[in-house]
Amino acid sequence: QVQLQESGPGLVKPSETLSLTCAVSGYSISSGYYWGWIRQPPGKGLEWIGSIYHSGSTYYNPSLKSRVTISVDTSKNQFSLKLSSVTAADTAVYYCARHLGSGWRIDYWGQGTLVTVSS
Amino acid sequence: EIVLTQSPGTLSLSPGERATLSCRASQSVSSSYLAWYQQKPGQAPRLLIYGASSRATGIPDRFSGSGSGTDFTLTISRLEPEDFAVYYCQQYGSSPPGLTFGGGTKVEIK
């Protein structure tokens, strides 16, 4: 059974960098598929942040591209998100996920982690 | 960038009734690239439908998807108590590669 687990600080100060890691179990990232980050502000809808292919190719939401970096560590079977210069608008539940197929459907999600941006 | 508009925003129905949810795209979308998810409070979304009409593993057959071009529909034939949730459509765009979600439809108990 594939499982994803997000980890990282739950509170980040404005202007600083949000950093999260997603540990994957039950499947080797180096075997394939795309691995992504999606966020959901409290009470609102879903927003795709970006994704990385197992080979390291990255794809970012154009609206966030200038602030986002996604990387993969196949030796630890995990991938990471960095979002710089955060503001209160970046407060959200952050999900990591696996997506596949020609339509990038998301078949496995992490449980999500709430990150609050506040001083 | 393709924008997905879901309607209605909220659907108030009783158990046993039929639910019809709409997802309209601002430009034509390949059916292969359209998916639907269900999200319950405090939980991650769950994949229901992919390729516009294919049910994901373990999804009951009361859930069905249809549509093409710019208009897609998720139908729940007979609502069960566990179906009251928020539903999102999602499309994949290839130029550049990325995902877009609709704003969601909440199906609530009437």
Residues in chain A with CB shorter than 8 Å from the CB of B106 are none
Q: Which candidate from B51, B96, B102 shows the least CB-CB separation from A103?
A: B51
Query: Could you give the percent of chain B with pLDDT greater than 90?
Result: 93
Mutation target for A interface from B99, B101, B106: give the one with most A CBs within 10 A.
Answer: B99
> Using the beta-carbon criterion (under 8 Å), do B44 and A102 form an inter-chain contact?
no
pLDDT tens digits, residue range B60-98?
999 999 999 999 999 999 999 999 999 999 999 888 889
Residues in chain A with CB shorter than 8 Å from the CB of B30 are 103
Residues in chain A with CB shorter than 8 Å from the CB of B43 are 111
Distance of residue A35 Cα from the nearest chain B Cα, in angstroms: 12
* Unique residue bearing structure tokens 């980890």: A7
Distance of residue A31 Cα from the nearest chain B Cα, in angstroms: 21
Question: What's the mean pLDDT in B12-36?
Answer: 96
Question: What's the mean pLDDT in B19-26?
Answer: 97
Q: Which candidate from B32, B33, B101 shows the least CB-CB separation from A47?
A: B101
C-beta of residue B71 within 8 angstroms of C-beta of residue B20 = no
Residues in chain A with CB shorter than 8 Å from the CB of B34 are 103
Residues in chain B with CB shorter than 8 Å from the CB of A59 are 96-98
* pLDDT at residue number A25: 97
> Using the beta-carbon criterion (under 8 Å), do A48 and B100 form an inter-chain contact?
yes
Q: What is the pLDDT along chain A (119 residues), one digit of tens a residue?
A: 999 999 999 999 999 999 999 999 999 999 989 999 999 999 999 999 999 998 889 999 999 999 999 999 999 999 999 999 999 999 999 999 999 887 899 999 999 999 999 99
Residue in A with minimal Cα distance to B48? A107
The β-bridge partners of B74 are: B21, B65
* CA gap B109, B107 in Å, rounded: 7
* pLDDT at residue number A103: 83
* CA gap A83, A114 in Å, rounded: 14
Distances (CA, A) of B13 to B40, B41, B57, B108: 17, 18, 26, 6
C-beta of residue B84 within 8 angstroms of C-beta of residue B70 = no
Distance of residue A9 Cα from the nearest chain B Cα, in angstroms: 19
H or E element at residue B63: strand B63-76
> Using the beta-carbon criterion (under 8 Å), do A101 and B100 form an inter-chain contact?
no
Which is it for strands A105-109 and A92-100: parallel, antiparallel or unpaired?
A: antiparallel
User: What are the E-state strand segments in chain A?
Assistant: 3-7, 11-12, 18-25, 34-40, 47-53, 58-60, 68-73, 78-83, 92-100, 105-109, 113-117
